[in-house]
Amino acid sequence: MKVFIPSTGRIFLDLVFSGLDRIPVPGEEHFAKSLGVMAGGMYNAARALHRLGVNVELAADLGNDFISKIILDFWESDGLPKTFLRVHDKAAAAVTCSFSLAEDRAFLSYVDEKPVPLSDPGIIDDRGIQCVLLSGIPESDIFIPLLKKAKERGVMILMDSQFDHPPMTNDWMKTLIALTDYLFCNESESKAISGFDNAEEAGKALRDMGTTSVIKLGPGGALLTGSKDVKKLPAPSVHVVDTTGAGDCFVAGFCYAKLRGESDESALAHGIACGSLSCTGPGGGAAPYERELTDCVKEHFG
């Protein structure tokens, strides 16, 4: 196995309403131009990596509710391995309605109680892992022993923030970031974590915490701040249908390139291209396949 995705978050059943000019107000019925239904949340990154030909295994918890059963159907249809999938004899539903507007999107979500996630450090030794991808900042320090084992074994660690206001006051959060090789944030997340209002200053502050920061700037591309320099690349112009899952696909494209031995700048280009292409359809279901991604990188980044 190349990539292991621990259960830091949830797999949502995403209902993506796109083509909206505004969000309905109380007492009003409003119609979207299209509806996408797919597995989302943590599943976005796993599906995107799988489409890019990466051997990926996702740890997740589903239940006996009908939402979980629909997600399991998507899982089986996509052909992802189920080694670390646990199905519990209780409800474990997670569902999101995404209202996609031209400039951004809004979410309405519901989740059942989440089971205690699988976090055994022995997974690192048993599965031949080359990369651990945290698709979201964990809610506790439960994964730190696993990450320390990964660090000892020279396994690359990537973490996607996925929070507007991460709880950075905790000492274990500082440990978590220091263990991470690449930390991905959108612009508002980077500011919340670092305390700086400027993306470049935020990137430098995150670097000083012991990681290489990658700040996703939406239509503005992305900014990478490493130990030696700062790299910024623009995003290609695409027809945007929906941005749900674009950040997850960005991380998958970046991870794909690093596993191939590419430079940070090349990985940044692959991340931007993968995230951009995913916006051309509803939700993370529009994630590109390998040939689509490599063609986009060649066309826009040379």
Alpha helix (H) residue ranges in 260-302: 264-278, 290-301
The average pLDDT across 14-23 equals 90
CA 65 to chain centre: 25
* pLDDT exceeds 70 at position 87: yes
Phi and psi, residue 248, nearest 5° = -65, -45
Is the pLDDT higher at 198 or at 68?
A: 68
Please report the DSSP string for 105-147 in residue order: EEEEEEEPPPPPPP--THHHHHTT-SEEEEES--SSSTTHHHH
* pLDDT exceeds 70 at position 165: no
Report the chain's C-alpha Rg in angstroms. 18
The average pLDDT across 201-214 equals 91
The average pLDDT across 220-230 equals 90
Q: Which of 23-27, 162-166, 286-290 has the highest mean pLDDT?
A: 286-290
Structure confidence at residue 2 (pLDDT): 92
Handedness of CA 201, 179, 11, 252 (dihedral sign): positive
Distance CA(70)–CA(90), nearest Å, equals 15
Structure confidence at residue 228 (pLDDT): 78
* pLDDT exceeds 90 at position 73: yes
pLDDT confidence of 57, banded at 50, 70, 90? very high
Structure confidence at residue 140 (pLDDT): 86
Structure confidence at residue 167 (pLDDT): 53
Q: What is the pLDDT of residues 100-133, one digit of tens each?
A: 887 678 899 999 999 999 999 999 987 789 999 9
Report pTM: 0.94
Structure confidence at residue 151 (pLDDT): 96
